[in-house]
Structure 1
Amino acid sequence: MLLTISSPNNIRSLAILGLSLVLILLTLSLTKYHTGNYIPVHDGHHRQLQAEKHFSYETDSASSLGNYKTSSGKCQPVHHIMFVKTHKCASTSIQNVLLRYGHRNNLTFVIPPFSNNLGEFDKFEKFHPSLALPLPSECGNEYGIFTHHARYNKDIIPRIMPKDSVYISILREPAAMYQSIWTFFSLHLRFSAPLEEFVKNPRLYYFNESNHRSLQFGRNPIMSDFGLEKEDFDNLTVIKETINYIDKHFSLIMISHQMDESLVLLRELLCWEWDDVVVFHLNRQSKHLPVELTEKVTSDILAWNSADNLLYQHFLAKFEEKKSIYGKERMKDDLQKLRSLRKAWERKCFAGHLIDKTNQPGSSTTINEECQYFCMDELEFTDRIRAKLWPNYGSQPHYRGRKGKNAQMFDKNFCDEVWEFGYGDTANLI
């Protein structure tokens, strides 16, 4: 029914109606914003979080392989990435890809004030912003890449990373991964038993051990990297909930023994150039092959690390699905392209004895800067980024690597070692 404006009653009715509409619109507008939460960082300052406490993704990022596209249909390179760096899963090779890209494109990293760990794994410590250096003032108000070791914290990490961040990680077959962890952390000394004896009756050793590092890496170390607490290692409900969370919020979980396929899918997801995903394997444990696991020992390892095995089996199947979506012939062509480009980089970086085997300061031998980054140790690379983004933080590098505190920023012998050992053999990747 139409109202005539000439009536005082009708004027009041229209005024009330208009005021109601204004209140409704104001209410709807306010629902788009959330009260800022504050988290202290280690230097005493505070920074407003860019999302509410319980961050919610609006899309299922793992439902497709796709990347970010503009209205014109062309993809845009992704500059916001959260990488869960899993232990002994060839994660250092993927990290090198991310460090190179971020360094070259002047992106900001979530980086520890020293060393290369965002938290004390010995204490089962999950990530918190106080464990990272604060954002440099000249780098805006958001981080670009999270790629250092940290126990994933689903209540914190999505709140410090930009909302459009892509979440990725990499897994390795659990028995081989566990054997590598066992050797690397000398768990035979900590548990006073060789691996094959330990896994016969692991509870006898594990629950009588008080050393936190032994407990951290002695069972389901990868699910622990993703934030699963040791108290839930036998809780199938919580394990499945954790896997489902990862499935929903992570766009790509790579598989170490299919490294090249993983790099092809990673390039597609991030809309990067082929050169960006070329990698030489880094952080190898030894030139010597590990002792071959018997079927019984393998079975015992998988039973003891049942949460890690469930995680791996789930995402191995998802990985095969993504390869199928990508296309068999397309994958074949792109694998050839990637491998040819890697060989070209190998010729550029290593042919003609460009590596200075004497490793002496002041040598006349030179090497392409990008080649240095291909072969740069994680701690060295981290120090270089730390010095670049936080030049006033400290003048001395925190590198404590293969050659001690006086090591050069680029270990030429190490780079040469990578080349001699070759790329294709993944048996000793850590």
Structure 2
Amino acid sequence: MLPVPRRWIRKFPPSFSSPSTRRRHCLWMLLILLLVCVTIQTFLIRHARGVKLMGLLSLTSSLSEHKPTLPNSAAANEDPRWRTPTQRPANTEAACRPKSHIVFLKTHKTASSSILNVLYRYGESRNLSFALPLKQSSQLFYPFFFSSHFVEGAGSRRRFHILCNHMRFRKSEVAKVMPQDAFYFSVLRHPAAMMESIFIYYKSIPAFRKTPSLDRFLDSSWRNYNSSVSNNHYAHNVLAFDFGFDNNVADEDLDERASAAIATIERDFHLVLISDYFEESMVLLRHALCWSLEDVVSFRLNSRSQHTRHRLSADTAERVQRWNALDWRIYLHFNASFWRKVERLVGQEAMRREVSELRGLQAKLANTCLKEGGAVHPSRVRDAALKPFQYGAAVIQGYNLNPQLEGRTRTTCQRLITPELQYTKHLFTQQFPEVAAKLRQRSKGSV
């Protein structure tokens, strides 16, 4: 067999088989594999992010469309609190500084006396100044529109830390006695529940005086109600009245007037609470003011005993909503905005937790401070300085202090249960001792 010609035999370059060459080729292959892996990983990450973003957008869209169920005539106590699973924003407390310039519009029969006590205790413990009613009055000349000269010491163009007594709101006058950065807030209550309370508490006003029941009043409301008679404003859209609006509105003007009132309140107030959810309101308030839970714990003050409370039928609640249609529109709007602010400022998981903590704090304080552990009939309140003011057909309960308390604990507990009138007088005496002394002398001279 003939040998294969040498030119037909393919020879590899001598350098290919050298160790250094093989290493270089291996490194190139590894580099190419690494680039392929990085490309695949980048694609997978981007795809995952896209899926996650689409899910987040879908969740956000569903949350924006989901609003809490508002109380209606058939279910005035329906609870819209825990509708969507959101988490509290992580940065709400990090840059938070406690607010001490505060305006509270104290509305009627909305648990506002308990909120007033919270503000009184916070201010007194920090030596803050109060815009108190002139000449030691209990209200800022309500039902007249608020004027700056209703405040003791306002003539010196002084600015106060806290304004919180009953008034008929007028922003331009309030601004004359309060700092520009003041935090404005108020509280609303479901108009049906509020009307039931008002009918009992203000039974002596002309609109209610001759009417045996709320249902009978609603049967002939236009005949029994005369807006020109003193104090009859309590019987009709009193929330709107307290905010400074005309509480008498014709049906054909309701939409326009309600929209204008809501827009004005949104402009003038940073926060509107809902007393039907009092504990949640206190948690939201403490976040808005950058306070602690201990700062907003309270006992119920100016509260009626159970035997003077009457459960309203669905039909009666509907008729109250029609009669107080302006208040009802305002309530519906701010009940919805309340829960949106809970979502934004607190989050539902944190709200659940803090409401539970707040209840625990209140229970501990009741166990420490109160002799009977809770409220008692006014006839059983032993300390005259702690007896609550009685008015109308309501029976306002009070508290007895644990007699074994001493020092700071006793002071703290006594502040928690001091009724509004006595606490206002106490603060007035502290803040204006000379004026208070003159008023006492004048009172003795007139006896």
Q: TM-score, normalised by structure 1?
A: 0.69
Indicate how the Cα distance of structure 1 residues 253 and 354 shifts in structure 2: closer, same or farther if over 3 A, else same.
Answer: closer
Equivalence for 1:94: 115
Equivalence for 2:370: 350
Equivalence for 1:387: 429
Match of 1:263 among 277, 282, 288: 282
**Residue 166 of structure 2 corresponds to residue 145 of structure 1:** no
Equivalence for 1:169: 186
Indicate how the Cα distance of structure 1 residues 254 and 354 shifts in structure 2: closer, same or farther if over 3 A, else same.
Answer: closer
Confirm or deny: 8 A CA contact 1:81 1:146 kept in the other structure.
yes
Indicate how the Cα distance of structure 1 residues 210 and 246 shifts in structure 2: closer, same or farther if over 3 A, else same.
Answer: closer
Equivalence for 1:222: 239
Indicate how the Cα distance of structure 1 residues 353 and 228 shifts in structure 2: closer, same or farther if over 3 A, else same.
Answer: closer
Confirm or deny: 8 A CA contact 1:233 1:239 kept in the other structure.
no
Structure 1 vs Structure 2: percent identity of aligned residues? Answer: 31
Equivalence for 2:140: 118
| CA distance, structure 2, for counterparts of residue 245 and residue 157 of structure 1 | 15
The list of structure 1 runs, each at least 4 consecutive aligned residues, that deviate by more than 6 angstroms after superposition, is 351-357
Indicate how the Cα distance of structure 1 residues 273 and 319 shifts in structure 2: closer, same or farther if over 3 A, else same.
Answer: same
2:304 maps to amino acid: Q
| CA distance, structure 2, for counterparts of residue 154 and residue 188 of structure 1 | 28
Confirm or deny: 8 A CA contact 2:188 2:331 kept in the other structure.
yes
| CA distance, structure 2, for counterparts of residue 364 and residue 260 of structure 1 | 28
Indicate how the Cα distance of structure 1 residues 69 and 293 shifts in structure 2: closer, same or farther if over 3 A, else same.
Answer: closer
**RMSD value over aligned CA atoms?**
3.1
User: Greater CA radius of gyration, 1 or 2?
Assistant: 2
Q: TM-score, normalised by structure 2?
A: 0.66
**Residue 95 of structure 2 corresponds to residue 74 of structure 1:** yes
| CA distance, structure 1, for counterparts of residue 217 and residue 307 of structure 2 | 23
Unaligned runs of 5+ in 2: 1-87, 386-401
Task: After superposition, give the CA deviation of every residue in 1:312-333 in whole Å (9 maximum; x if it has no partner).
Answer: 1111111111222221111111
**Going by fraction, where is helix more abundant, 1 or 2?**
2
Equivalence for 1:336: 356
Confirm or deny: 8 A CA contact 1:182 1:188 kept in the other structure.
no
**Residue 230 of structure 2 corresponds to residue 212 of structure 1:** yes
Indicate how the Cα distance of structure 1 residues 307 and 360 shifts in structure 2: closer, same or farther if over 3 A, else same.
Answer: closer
| CA distance, structure 2, for counterparts of residue 133 and residue 351 of structure 1 | 36
Task: After superposition, give the CA deviation of every residue in 1:205-227 in whole Å (9 maximum; x if it has no partner).
Answer: 213x653112x111001110000
Report the CA distance between 1:155 and its aligned residue.
Answer: 2.4
Equivalence for 1:241: 260
| CA distance, structure 2, for counterparts of residue 300 and residue 364 of structure 1 | 48
Indicate how the Cα distance of structure 1 residues 262 and 352 shifts in structure 2: closer, same or farther if over 3 A, else same.
Answer: closer
Indicate how the Cα distance of structure 1 residues 205 and 351 shifts in structure 2: closer, same or farther if over 3 A, else same.
Answer: closer
| CA distance, structure 2, for counterparts of residue 343 and residue 164 of structure 1 | 35
| CA distance, structure 2, for counterparts of residue 110 and residue 385 of structure 1 | 10
| CA distance, structure 2, for counterparts of residue 233 and residue 269 of structure 1 | 36
Indicate how the Cα distance of structure 1 residues 392 and 311 shifts in structure 2: closer, same or farther if over 3 A, else same.
Answer: same
Task: After superposition, give the CA deviation of every residue in 1:333-374 in whole Å (9 maximum; x if it has no partner).
Answer: 11122222222222221369899965489x975451010010
| CA distance, structure 2, for counterparts of residue 364 and residue 69 of structure 1 | 41
Task: After superposition, give the CA deviation of every residue in 1:81-112 in whole Å (9 maximum; x if it has no partner).
Answer: 11010000001111110011111111111111
Report the CA distance between 1:394 and its aligned residue.
Answer: 2.3
Unaligned runs of 5+ in 1: 1-64, 399-404, 406-430
